[in-house]
Structure 1
């Protein structure tokens, strides 16, 4: 197994520990992965999600990942705050993007103090704020809507309410990504709400739910593009996508690269698929069944930090 870090696998991440987690009623309309929660169970669900995020952050820190863990105490009615990857992304060279969110109550998740913390700890050259596009009905939900190949500069995008082509083109131009967009269809005939539910791009492999891309020619083109980048492509079944097998993220830790994914996702993978992954990354399963009720899993819970850290002993000039 390779122990090298890569531009694809960040060694630092942002996570949000929620105090008032609940599956978001505003996102249920187009998120087929979401589970409705009984009102009487709300407190137990919130406490369970809090524990799951705490345990996941502790496990990743133990693996040598730098975890910036922020608290959401629930004052702003942000039931999906556990998924920060949708409202901001970071990029090599010191670039940060803030994104327009489809659901109104998710727009309250944006927190300037998180960006200020990143500026203090890392070299941030510019922050480009696309959130004003919400007023024009244009949405692009970060690394939920886009799955990046940071090496080949490709943004893979499943078309949906949360990935507007105008916003995508604007972002891609600013950040020098080539957008590769495709249509998807779930068992109910609806588009998959976020690309990162059905697709994961790591350094040496990629996992894709090709069964959810109805245009076979387009699916073959996506596969070919990934193979051209030198990656081994793992096809995930529709059932594995339902188990969040595509919602994983490669990270760099103390002992090299790892694939963080949920226990449910891990258990859905075949022995052969695990063997392909483990040639270049260790599997690190995290138990997050309560968080998964909201329709997202481990990838959604993690915003990767692709920024250069500041040197703590640097002399400041005044």
Structure 2
């Protein structure tokens, strides 16, 4: 298994999908649009979910599909990357979640299911920070360069400095934190909508980073790591061009997973750079992106654990 990207992932098929009022205040990518009744919306999201799973499997990715429990209702269960991560040393990390109805997504039964197929050696539980109103939402809050063991994170209500430091100390990452905001000065809620790091390249919305010294700091770290840099505009960020994920196929080759909307929003010269290194795999996710404000990368929890 390549330690920089993996061909094994976990995805959660939602029992209930819809606009989450508890997250809407901090997620400006969410649009509460009347596109159908709840059952219709749920079916549209399920169709997109399974279409994405099929596309990934067709391209050699091992997708472990977990089925969400109907109760309690968890409208964002389709995004497991925020509450759990699986690491190459056998570590499992649980994260503190901003919204109460997202905390219900942390289910021991899911951990047990993954543990049946993969080797889990230890567990780090950071969820106790919820009692202090301090949050860190997994690989939404953090973007890692596994090659250099650097953790990039833009601060927001969902990404707290103290919890970041605790994670980096426990997992041996160097923290590079910065501030990122939209056109109206509101903090970008998750780092992974404006930033993605792959083994050979990085995609970043520099326009969302207001301080010049922070832009230069990020560029320095990426250039030092030998990454080819693809800069996306604010408009492209809102089309989920930053919310993409490098995975491997069953031959160990690099693929880049993204939504159809993101794929159609990249410029030809940007796609040319990506395709030098990765095969692009995309699928329609417009219902999920619009109503929940999360995209392809948010739907994927990478599994770097060793298979049993």
TM range (shorter): over 0.9
Q: Specify the alignment match of 1:262 in structure 2.
A: 259
Distance 1:186 1:63 in 2: 34
Distance 1:195 1:225 in 2: 16
- Which of residues 256, 278, 282 in structure 2 aligns to 1:281? 278
Q: List structure 1 runs of 4+ shifted beyond 2 angstroms.
A: 37-41
Give the match's secondary structure for 2:175: strand
Distance 2:35 2:100 in 1: 21
Unaligned runs of at least 5 residues, structure 2:
none
RMSD: 1.2
Q: Specify the alignment match of 2:75 in structure 1.
A: 79
Q: Specify the alignment match of 2:164 in structure 1.
A: 168
- Counting only pairs closer than 5 Å after superposition, residues 83-232 of structure 1 correspond to structure 2 as 83-232=79-228
Which string of whole-angstrom CA distances, capped at 9 and with x for unpartnered residues, describes residues 237-292 of structure 1?
A: 00000000000000101351100000000111011111111111011111111110
Q: Is the 8 A contact 1:78 1:108 kept in 2?
A: yes
| Cα distance, 1:117 vs structure 2 | 1.9
1:290 aligns with 2:290: no
Q: Give me the TM-score of the superposition, normalised by structure 2.
A: 0.97
- Which of residues 21, 24, 27 in structure 1 aligns to 2:23? 27
| Cα distance, 1:40 vs structure 2 | 5.5
Unaligned runs of at least 5 residues, structure 1:
311-318
Moved more, 172-181 or 30-39: 30-39
- Which of residues 44, 48, 57 in structure 2 aligns to 1:48? 44
| Cα distance, 1:7 vs structure 2 | 1.8
Distance 1:187 1:20 in 2: 32
| Cα distance, 1:73 vs structure 2 | 4.1
Distance 1:132 1:7 in 2: 29
Q: Is the 8 A contact 1:19 1:47 kept in 2?
A: no
Distance 2:40 2:118 in 1: 37
Distance 1:209 1:74 in 2: 37
Give the match's secondary structure for 1:163: coil
Which string of whole-angstrom CA distances, capped at 9 and with x for unpartnered residues, describes residues 193-242 of structure 1?
A: 00000001001000000000000111111011011111101101000000
